[in-house]
Structure 1
Amino acid sequence: MTRVLITGATGGLGRNAVVEPSLTVHTLGAMAFDMTLDIRAAEHRLGYKPLVSMEEALRRTAKWLKQTDGLAVKVP
């Protein structure tokens, strides 16, 4: 683990936190291939229904990323 300064979540004040590096062997492996997930089995077997559409979820995520500066992690 690496000690970094997180500024986005604290309004720029910064605080020390121990976080896992954003680029790891696992994340590299995950980025090495395309994957599409399908919720039809969960809908059929479990009766799952998303609370919001994919479009709305993406809109909310984009808005949150803009508001929080993506919770940018900057090494001091």
Structure 2
Amino acid sequence: MQYYLDLNHDSGVANYEIGNEFIRVQFKKTSKVYTYSYSSAGYQHVENMKQLAQYGDGLNAYINHHTRQLFVR
């Protein structure tokens, strides 16, 4: 997993991992890793999340507004 930069120091995201068709996100308050895949969250959401993760800002807000419950179960 890669450390999430959190440019504004206001995110709940700690780490992430990018795959071809998924992104895995680990939050600061838990050790649990959430996987968001094309099949669970949709292609566009996953690709948006990948971009935000690499940029280091906005991923936590995006998850809260768009994909909060769309992780792989």
Larger Rg: 1
* TM bucket, shorter chain: under 0.3
Question: Structure 1 length as normaliser, TM-score?
Answer: 0.24
Structure number with higher strand proportion: 2
Structure number with higher helix proportion: 1
Question: Structure 2 length as normaliser, TM-score?
Answer: 0.25
Task: Say which structure, 1 or 2, has more relative contact order (CA 8 Å, 6+ apart).
Answer: 1
